[in-house]
Structure 1
């Protein structure tokens, strides 16, 4: 961890935190986190790719971790995250990059590639594939009582989370999202009620990890994190008409990833329909893998990422 350097850079009126490791002259890889994560999600992958001769960069999105929050978090959007990613690369004088996104980081990665194709050498996403136009309004209908539906409602998650300290909120979310089934709350339940206090942490997640994530969210709060992604899901896939991602792409899914149980999601990936939008996509399934693959199976994920980067390294040369 002490190999990883940290700095703040001015981006679109905010100071955003980035973690980085590796030579500035090496091919660049930018890692985009999901929720409830920060740059720290990628700690194992950053070291591995740097040791393999790449430059690893992992920002905290605006309103997450150590990055500044926007002045009006309730107006934040995926477009902000896409524009911030472009601005980070411009600030670091990186003209070509491999983009790796987990969870909603994938929802930033693909539109970023569509809007800035000249900047992207290849894409890896974990947990989510390319999301088609109108994804969460037309194609994938989220069940009532499923956490994204609950958290779309302004104030509901805030009231739910406020009953607990930040460490407990992070702990509960990691336990919930590590399950292989969709966790559905009853009408008179809140999402935090789905975790019993005695439920153990996943074996690969430590109390120190909780402390680090909680310290970040004690700084940032959850206002922006609830806005993006949850309260902007209806905009997913709206960025580009007739989208087609032309660069090589790999999707890495845990076989026990609960998102595969969203109605229509597993079929969309397995049927090959996603290749209408991402024709050069390969999908790899990790046995026993959950939603948190980079932390659950870091060595396996590192191997898959390095295989992709080494196969496509020539595409990063400018």
Structure 2
């Protein structure tokens, strides 16, 4: 097996330089895209993720090697074409990991960290989980099973993470149409970070936006619907510990407190964020339906008003 470098560590200087250039550009153009406390929190979360990955990658590598050495169906060689296959296979796995992380509260508890910033810039890309690395790898277990070597998989996972860094920016409006049609872009990913009902739980792509288009989760960014970043209910803190664990604490309270059936306690772990056993909770689909209903009602009211004005004008004319 060839030795693959840890490209994330090598990319750290690139991250720093890119963030510096983005800050310079925002100051030059009189745009306020950075908040110092928010950016420092994101960087702290990224550093914590990097340190904890020394432990979590050991767990991941052990699990991958266990399956590869004992249960693999095929043996995929180290060849150029196998890395192309892995590029799409890994991205497919990432799509479903990302989607489930929004649809299942257990996985949302770690992923919510990345969505907790109310700002959108390159530092936001560094706002990573401190807990997810220890269990979210299960979405990739099928890759060593079909014969991809664990070293190859870990390298491609790093490539995916590196690709997703540059799309966390408002400095780029739109890429060329052909690129927007196939690849994940800043425009597509801005939608994903939106708390607007229209944008909630959309555009889960890692590298290729094609998965969202295939599985019905794609939403283009609209000029008339400016993205509002953050959570539906923001956490209002820059404390890294609270950022990392606030949803775990909230989920624990929902599971273990109050009078509930065992079934409902389990549902607080497996149901989407926002679900409540008494029916008072609202999922992203509920919020989207309410929003569309209100928009439809407003448009109908405007249409009725215009009709009334038109009738009045007709009467005047007569």
Instruction: Tell me the TM-score normalised to structure 2 length.
Output: 0.26
Q: Which of the pair has more CA radius of gyration?
A: 2
**TM-score scaled by length of structure 1:** 0.26
- Name the one with the larger strand percent: 1
